[in-house]
Amino acid sequence: MKIGFCLHGDWIITRPDLVEYVQQVGYDGVEIWTQSFDNFGFEAVKEAVDALRCELIAVNPYFDFTTSAASMEKSLCDAGKYISYAASLRAQNVRAYLSPFGTFNGVNSRIEDATDDEWDRAVNGAQKVCDLALERGMTVLLEPNEISGQLYDTSETCLRFLNRVRRKNLKVNLQVPLCKEDPLYSAHMLAPYVTHLHAHNLSKPAFSVENIVMLDDDSGVIDFEAYLKLLIGHGFNGCISIEHAFPPDSERIAKHQYEYLNTLLASLHVRNAD
């Protein structure tokens, strides 16, 4: 099992000290976001990735298949570009949001109000992204969580989406909590599809940056050890990426989260502690 670290935005370029630190701490790999390509170009990102001593686990783009036929066409072009970039950088995973962030969790736009056309475009777009990725031997990761406003932000809608897309290389990057769900329920329902985790804990049930705490924090509402045990019991053996390292405490957070996870995984006999 791997421990990963999320380098948000263009951090792979703009925060070289943090990149070096997470490698020194012992992380197996990092994830990068497409702002790095957009702001600095592919060659600069390739130079930074080539210098890594750890794995590039995932490239994380955003698409918009639901708004219109025009947005779908543009997103397919973007998908081809970012999948090509990811393949060139030897990443095995592409994370995919399929609608603009927050589309289906606003006051006037919720998942249950999504139209058939929106569902059809999202499903068709996901199928095409998966087919492009499969040509490169890559996995596409849905990321259900309570804040992104996608069509799959509950276990029920995520399963509905997976069953409609029907692509073997479409998997789940689970980031609990999902909308109004206990994390253990989400893990139980989605476990057969989960190959990746974005990991953090929260001091209150509602997600916000201010509420994020360490995985082992006593104030946390997520029993991360029980959550992970449940997933492992269903066969999970993928990557756990820490998505909690905001400035100015990034290095301290990265070290604490890695040490906790490394020790926990060793106690569960799925990783040798350093």
Here the tokens at position 171 are 């998997």
- What is residue 208's predicted lDDT score, i.e. its pLDDT? 86
> In CATH, what number is assigned to the domain containing residue 92?
3.20.20.150
Taking only the tens place, the pLDDT of each residue in 138-180 is: 999 999 999 999 999 999 999 999 999 999 999 999 999 999 8
Residue 273 counted as domain residue: no
Residue 130 counted as domain residue: yes
- What is residue 273's predicted lDDT score, i.e. its pLDDT? 63
Taking only the tens place, the pLDDT of each residue in 18-66 is: 999 999 999 999 999 999 999 999 999 999 999 999 999 999 999 999 9
- What is residue 207's predicted lDDT score, i.e. its pLDDT? 86
Structural domain count, the chain = 1
Residue 257 counted as domain residue: yes
- CA-to-CA dists, residue 256 to 52, 242, 250, angstroms: 21, 11, 10
Does residue 236 have a pLDDT over 70? yes
Residue 186 counted as domain residue: yes
What is the C-alpha to C-alpha distance for residues 51 and 273, in angstroms, rounded to an integer?
Answer: 25
Residue 234 counted as domain residue: yes
Q: What is the mean pLDDT of residues 247-274?
A: 92
Measure the CA angle with vertex 178, ends 18 and 129; round to 5°. 70
Residue 274 counted as domain residue: no
Does residue 274 have a pLDDT over 60? no
What residue ranges in 107-232 does DSSP mark as E strands?
A: 139-142, 170-174, 194-199, 201-202, 212-213
Taking only the tens place, the pLDDT of each residue in 82-118 is: 999 999 999 999 999 999 999 998 756 689 899 999 9
Does residue 204 have a pLDDT over 60? yes
Residue 88 counted as domain residue: yes
Residue 57: give the domain boundaries: 2-267
Which is more confidently placed, 245 or 108?
A: 245
| Mean pLDDT score across all residues of the chain | 95
- What is residue 263's predicted lDDT score, i.e. its pLDDT? 97
- What is residue 195's predicted lDDT score, i.e. its pLDDT? 98
pTM of the model: 0.96
Residue 210 counted as domain residue: yes
The helix/strand/coil state of 95 is strand
Phi, psi of 241 (to 5 degrees): -100, 130
- What is residue 206's predicted lDDT score, i.e. its pLDDT? 83
